[in-house]
Amino acid sequence: MRRRWSLAALLAALLALPAAAQPVLNVYNWADYIDPAVIQRFQRQTGIKVRYDVYDSLETLEGKLSAGRSGYDVIVPTSEPTFARLVRAGALRPLDKDKLPNLRNLDPGLMQRVATVDPGNRYGAIYLWGTVGLGIRLDKVRAIWPEAPLDGLDLLLKPENAARLATCGLAVMDSATDVLPSVLAWLGKDPNTSDPAELKAAEQALLAVRPQLRAIPGSGALLDMLATGEVCVALTYSGDVIQAAARAREGAKGVELGYVAPKTGVHLWFDLLAIPADAPDPEAAQAFIDFVLQPEMMAAITSQVRYPNAVPASRPLVAPAVRDDPSVYPPEAALARAFVPATPNQAGERARTRLWSRFRAGR
């Protein structure tokens, strides 16, 4: 009798525990970069509550992590340079692959691409990937300039072209990390260069069109500006343009958007699911990563955010309009001229940071 009473008391005590005793997973990810239904399913199936914060630039993510004790369990850095720097700094926790059976779902060829910065793929699993290029409001650009060159960065980076289109709004996303490699490739230079003269040439190219730019916003704000038609040409992420185009169609206000991968070389990037070394709940982080890597979950995410994933088995499950869009899954010809930027040395990184500050200030 006493044993039954003790058990009843124990159950009552457990039921009386405050809600704060529920496991909590803290995720820090890009804005507009997951299907909310995936988070809801994870919470229902695991009983783990998800606190979800967002950023819109790699610089913001690095600033949060460099301060230490960020409080996050899962982050989504881009392979180069942020993830690479975090690996070198010992800021990431190795993945426990025995607890991640769904790692086997990832494309070995794509994982090999990121193994150059993550030997043995010890610290990261590919979440989504994409390219950097031009979002173009086709209806506006054609109205202003029917013969406009719509196949590359000449449209934005040649001063005479920028001047011709400035009235309909030009923008460059606020990320030296993701803009400078494409500008350098457009100039015919090594996207990874730290040569002062070559970086100066990139700076001059950007400053030449700086007076014509309406904004240098974060990617989230730029997505909104494209969707509403506030800008007609923008250098940004492929998926953001595709998301903006979908929003524009839903708004039915006559905004027609397209995406162009630069013919001078396509900047290819990978965003990786990773666990900070000081994550409060690494076990919950492992559970989340393994859950997300299921083909059904990755298909839902790609269908929602219109970025390709690295789980081949998810492809048949992706919404056909997204799966069959060459802007989402680029053809082999486009990938053949793609490059994955490396992390600049310290001197090159400092030079790029100063260059970007001058560009933003317009001097």
Ordered by where they begin, the domains of the chain are 21-129+269-329 (3.40.190.10), 130-268+340-361 (3.40.190.10)
The dihedral sign for the CA sequence 31, 266, 318, 291: negative
Rounded Cα distance, 232 and 55, in Å: 24
CA geometry: angle at 209 spanning 207 and 213, to 5°?
110
Maximum CA extent, the chain: 90
Q: How confident is the model at residue 346 (pLDDT cuts 50, 70, 90)?
A: confident
Mean pLDDT of 73-92: 91
Beta strand 257-260 with 125-137 is antiparallel
pLDDT tens digits for 139-188? 999 999 999 999 999 999 999 999 999 999 999 999 998 999 999 999 99
**CA–CA dist 208, 179 (Å, integer):** 15
SS3 for 294?
coil
**pLDDT of the residue at 157:** 98
Whether pLDDT at 94 is above 50: yes
pLDDT value, residue 12: 47
> Both tokens of residue 1?
């009798």
% of the chain with per-residue pLDDT over 70: 94
Give the mean pLDDT of 69-77: 93
Instruction: State residue 189 phi and psi, 5-degree precision.
Output: -110, 165
Does residue 220 surpass a pLDDT of 80? yes
Nearest by Cα to 131 from 224, 45, 239, 23: 239
The predicted pLDDT at position 8 comes to: 46
Q: How confident is the model at residue 20 (pLDDT cuts 50, 70, 90)?
A: low
The tokens describing 223, both together, are 């997505």
